[in-house]
Chains A and B, each alone.
Chain A
Amino acid sequence: MSGYTGGYMGWLSPEEWQVLLLSLKVSGVAITAVLPLAFALAWMLARWRFPGKVLLDAVVHLPLVLPPVVTGWLLLLTFGTNAPVGHFLSETIGLTFLFRWTGAALAAAVMALPLMVRAMRLSLETVDRRLENAARTLGAGPWRTFFTITLPLATPGIMAGLVLGLARSVGEFGATITFASNIPGETQTLPLAIYSALQLPGTELQVARLAGLSVLLSVSALALSEWLARRNAQGKDRHVL
């Protein structure tokens, strides 16, 4: 991280840069990886009728209602080195989670999932099915109907889900520290760094700087979503003709 000490980036210490970049990496990977799953779940819950739907709905929402430390413990039971899924993943594709940034990303993804599914499901439920039917009678197959009617109409909700998920994952603490532990440079994201600093005497300034960074990050995410929504509203027809 020494490359970030000079020039205009000097207003953050190398350690702070490390924390910030790790936080961005963890959240970015978590949200990107969980987005398709969240959308698929939202689609199933909004559009399909199947036995066990209530159960699936409940499982998706668990991370929202459980104490995060319990979610972290359940992740340990599932994705730990000797746990069934964890063992399988490490044997087949060499993916391990314990004490690694991938673990922090997994915890962030699981915690963000229910919020993303909720927002996307809601937006899919508000898309008028009669418009989709109209598209079908005009000659569009199910996929074309999805990409030209359903998806554009659901986009604001999908964006909202993304931002909610991003904010949630950047702020994730309990499940991360339980599951992936608190290792500087590997799993120590912003909230964990703030927590660690708070444990030491004489770190008021450091805590304030990290907290400020955290606020800045959240506000940027909000501004980004606003900008995306606005751009989306203006350019709706740009891709056709």
Chain B
Amino acid sequence: MSFDIAMTLQRGTVRMVYEFTAGPGLTALFGPSGAGKTSLLDAVAGLVRPAEGHIAVSGTTLFDRARKINLKPEKRRCGYVFQDHRLFPHRTVRTNLLYGWRLVRPAERWLSIDLALDLLGIGHLLDRMPATLSGGEAQRVAIGRALLSAPRFLLMDEPLASVDAHRRGEILSLIERIRDELKLPILYVSHDRAEVERLAHRIIPVEPVHG
């Protein structure tokens, strides 16, 4: 299984329960806002600690309460594409892209910088600061930054949310190429049915569950 997740998240007084397994390809988590989809991705990335349960990706256990396993975020090798691109505002596009790339052992890199620039079409933006980018450009750089950190799987949290409507098509095609050419397991969060139906190999509904 690419994703094997069974966990309980405690957010204030609300307990949310998630349980699913998913094979390779793009798995969409689909549900209304406030259902805790982002919390789920944060837990897989190691930014939020589940109260109970386990999280395993491609056979590697990232979290297991019973076995006292809790990998630090920097050890999980996830490529997280956030809803708000989260580019580092004090670094150029170039040094944003290289941030994770430089932290990976050369033998473990599977994407060259030239290939990434070509795939994402961001070669002309290298010396720009993030504040000067459009929403679509920023999101492409953010996707490139995540891919260059040589992740073992991708987490994408509504990557089209901060992209202009007429630019969404090109980001969608880009995500399709990543899905088909890079063979990474992807967890993709969205509340847009059309988007999810176009991209996903399988759809897992996420409802607000109050345990």
Point out the residues of chain A lying under 8 angstroms from B149, CB to CB: 137-139
User: Which one of A10-18, A93-101, A128-136, A214-222 contacts B?
Assistant: A128-136
Known: A149-B88, A153-B90, A237-B92. A140 touches B99 (CB 8 A): yes
- Beta-carbon contacts of B143-160 to A below 8 Å, as 1s and 0s? 001100100000000000
Known: A130-B82, A131-B86. A137 touches B47 (CB 8 A): yes
CA distance A230 to B91 in the complex (A): 16
Interface secondary structure of A, over-half rule: helix
Known: A139-B149, A241-B94, A241-B98. A133 touches B84 (CB 8 A): no
For the side of the interface on B, what is the size category? 20 to 34
B-contacting residues, A119-169, CB 8 Å: 128, 130-131, 133-141, 144, 148-149, 152-153
B58 interface contact, C-beta 8 A: no
A231 interface contact, C-beta 8 A: no
A240 interface contact, C-beta 8 A: yes
Residues of B within 8 A of A (CB): 45-47, 72-74, 76-80, 82, 84, 86, 88-92, 94-95, 98-100, 103-104, 145-146, 149
8 contacts between A and B (CB under 8 A): A133-B45, A135-B88, A136-B47, A139-B74, A140-B99, A140-B103, A153-B90, A240-B95
Point out the residues of chain B lying under 8 angstroms from A149, CB to CB: 88
Find out whether the CB atom of A136 lies under 8 angstroms from the CB atom of B92: no
Point out the residues of chain A lying under 8 angstroms from B103, CB to CB: 138-140, 144
Find out whether the CB atom of A237 lies under 8 angstroms from the CB atom of B47: no
Point out the residues of chain A lying under 8 angstroms from B79, CB to CB: 137
Q: Which residue of B lies closest to A138 (CB)?
A: B100
Residues of A within 8 A of B (CB): 128, 130-131, 133-141, 144, 148-149, 152-153, 236-237, 240-241
CA distance A241 to B95 in the complex (A): 8
Find out whether the CB atom of B100 lies under 8 angstroms from the CB atom of A240: no
Q: Which 3 A-B pairs have the closest CB atoms?
A: A138-B100, A139-B103, A136-B73
User: Which one, A134, A141, A240, contacts B72 given CB within 8 A?
Assistant: A141
Find out whether the CB atom of B74 lies under 8 angstroms from the CB atom of A141: yes
CA distance A134 to B74 in the complex (A): 10
Q: Which residue of B lies closest to A128 (CB)?
A: B86
Find out whether the CB atom of A137 lies under 8 angstroms from the CB atom of B91: no
CA distance A140 to B88 in the complex (A): 13
Find out whether the CB atom of A137 lies under 8 angstroms from the CB atom of B78: yes
Find out whether the CB atom of B145 lies under 8 angstroms from the CB atom of A138: yes
Find out whether the CB atom of B92 lies under 8 angstroms from the CB atom of A130: no
Find out whether the CB atom of A137 lies under 8 angstroms from the CB atom of B80: yes
